[in-house]
């Protein structure tokens, strides 16, 4: 039996991978819908913590957590700290003590907004908070939205995200967000008349 030759990756792909591996993300504001939920505590925030430790997040990074839970910014930070501490204590994937400096860096950038996703005033308040944060970052920050919520809440939140996109003058993306949210879950988005 002859040996199969290993095909090396194309040079361009190798160069791109090397460039990305050493690059830091651009300024950003991350809004997490479902901020007090299990997905945020067990997956999203630990992933962000690991990015901080790898020095992949810029100083101009902020997190706005949105949820209906009756919390304050400090209460949300404390809840996440307790979860991270439990992970470090052997209940999770951390095999070493939490890097207090990295964790502090991340929590200082966390802000909590209490609100019901079904209420338009939640999104109106979110628009104000995002505008204030973007001003602090000289309007250079990208805004990204993470929907850590049950499937039935996605369409309502996508409409709110579309409202923000329209507010900042990004009508094309606002329209695309709303159209995507209207595609039935059992169909791929391409079936609904627009590309993935």
Nearest to 67, CA basis, from 127, 114, 32, 122: 114
CB burial of 152-188 (b: ≥16 within 10 Å; e: otherwise) equals eebebbbbbbbbbbbeeeeeeebebbbebbebeeeee
d(CA 95, CA 46) in angstroms, rounded, equals 13
In this predicted structure, what is the pLDDT of residue 57?
A: 93
Has residue 48 got a pLDDT over 90? yes
Nearest to 40, CA basis, from 57, 65, 22: 65
Counting residues of the chain whose pLDDT is more than 90, the rounded percentage is 35
- Between 115 and 2, the more confident residue is 115
The average pLDDT across 134-157 equals: 74
DSSP codes joined into one string, 65-117: EEESSS--HHHHHHHHHHHHHHIIIIISS--S---HHHHHHHHTTEEEEE--T
For residue 47, tell me if it sits in a domain: yes
d(CA 88, CA 181) in angstroms, rounded, equals 37
For residue 142, tell me if it sits in a domain: yes
For residue 30, tell me if it sits in a domain: yes
Q: Which residues pair with 147 in a beta bridge?
A: 33
Counting residues of the chain whose pLDDT is more than 70, the rounded percentage is 61
For residue 143, tell me if it sits in a domain: yes
Domain total in the chain: 1
Q: How confident is the model at residue 190 (pLDDT cuts 50, 70, 90)?
A: very low
For residue 4, tell me if it sits in a domain: no
For residue 58, tell me if it sits in a domain: yes
- Between 70 and 26, the more confident residue is 70
pTM: 0.71
The average pLDDT across 43-67 equals: 92
For residue 166, tell me if it sits in a domain: no
Has residue 191 got a pLDDT over 70? no
pLDDT digits (tens, 9 = 90+) for 157-180: 556 665 655 655 554 444 344 333
Helix and strand numbers (H, E) in the chain are: 8, 4
For residue 123, tell me if it sits in a domain: yes
Average pLDDT of the chain to the nearest whole number: 74
Nearest to 126, CA basis, from 78, 82, 63: 63
Residue 43 to residues 68, 124, 128, 179: CA-CA distances in angstroms? 19, 28, 27, 28
Residue range of the domain that includes 66: 26-149
Has residue 11 got a pLDDT over 50? no
The CATH number of residue 85's host domain is 3.40.50.720
Q: Which of 71-85, 94-108, 172-186 has the highest mean pLDDT?
A: 71-85
């Amino acid at each position: 039996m002859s040996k199969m030759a290993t095909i090396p990756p194309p040079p361009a792909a190798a160069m791109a991978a090397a460039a990305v591996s050493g690059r830091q993300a651009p300024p950003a504001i991350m809004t997490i819908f479902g901020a007090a939920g299990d997905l945020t505590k067990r997956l999203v925030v630990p992933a962000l913590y690991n990015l901080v430790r790898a020095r992949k997040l810029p100083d101009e990074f902020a997190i706005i957590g949105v949820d209906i839970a009756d919390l304050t910014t400090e209460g949300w930070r404390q809840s996440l700290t307790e979860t991270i501490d439990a992970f470090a204590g052997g209940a999770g994937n951390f095999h070493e003590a939490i890097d207090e400096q990295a964790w502090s860096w991340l929590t200082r950038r966390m802000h909590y907004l209490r609100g019901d996703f079904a209420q338009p005033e939640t999104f109106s308040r979110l628009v104000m908070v995002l505008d204030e944060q973007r001003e602090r970052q000289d309007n250079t920050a990208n805004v990204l939205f993470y929907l850590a919520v049950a499937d039935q809440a996605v369409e309502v939140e996508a409409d709110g995200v579309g409202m923000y996109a329209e507010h900042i003058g990004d009508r094309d993306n606002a329209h695309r967000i709303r159209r995507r949210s209207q595609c039935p879950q059992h169909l791929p988005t391409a079936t609904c008349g627009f590309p993935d």
